[in-house]
């Protein structure tokens, strides 16, 4: 793993910005739009809330892990995956588009999960 990505894992370990843009937030959910063009890598972020994502088209991504490892994923339109975190559990990663199509996801986090939501940086408010 390159030095910049290693530093990003350190600097953004508490970042709850799990998408490109927060499009809606209530007392129960946060809804994120995620868009990564070919070759683009999303910033490191940490999941602590139960959530699911759905992808809107096919694609190929690499998930970078804090220990320097990574794994690749092939997506088909409509693929959906659900995650649940017990109290104190978390997942930190960065997603890189290694395919030749845009990756477009919707991610929904449940603020009523076992863990409190991580704070969001100023400017990450729903529009």
pLDDT in tens, 25-63: 999 999 999 999 999 999 999 999 999 999 999 999 999
pTM confidence score: 0.92
pLDDT at residue 123 is higher than 60:
no
Confidence tier at 121 by pLDDT (50, 70, 90): confident
Contact 94, 6 (CB under 8 A): no
Enter the DSSP assignment of 85. -
- Residue ranges and CATH numbers for the domains of the chain are 3-110 (2.60.120.10)
> Cα separations (Å) of 64 from 16, 21, 28, 67, 114?
17, 20, 29, 9, 25
Enter the DSSP assignment of 10. H
Strands annotated E in 1-127: 21-25, 29-36, 45-47, 50-55, 59-64, 70-75, 80-83, 91-97, 103-110
């Amino acid at each position: 793993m390159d030095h910049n990505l290693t530093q990003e894992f350190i600097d953004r370990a508490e970042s709850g910005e799990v998408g490109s843009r927060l499009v809606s937030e209530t007392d129960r959910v946060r809804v994120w739009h995620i868009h990564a063009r070919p070759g683009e890598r999303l910033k490191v972020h940490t999941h602590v809330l139960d959530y699911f994502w759905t992808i809107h088209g096919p694609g190929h991504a690499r998930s970078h892990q804090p220990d320097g490892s990574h794994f690749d994923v092939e997506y088909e339109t409509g693929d959906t995956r659900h995650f649940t975190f017990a109290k104190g559990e978390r997942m930190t990663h960065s997603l890189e588009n290694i395919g030749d199509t845009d990756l477009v996801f919707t991610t929904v986090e449940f603020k009523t999960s076992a863990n409190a939501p991580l704070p969001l940086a100023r400017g990450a408010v729903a529009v």
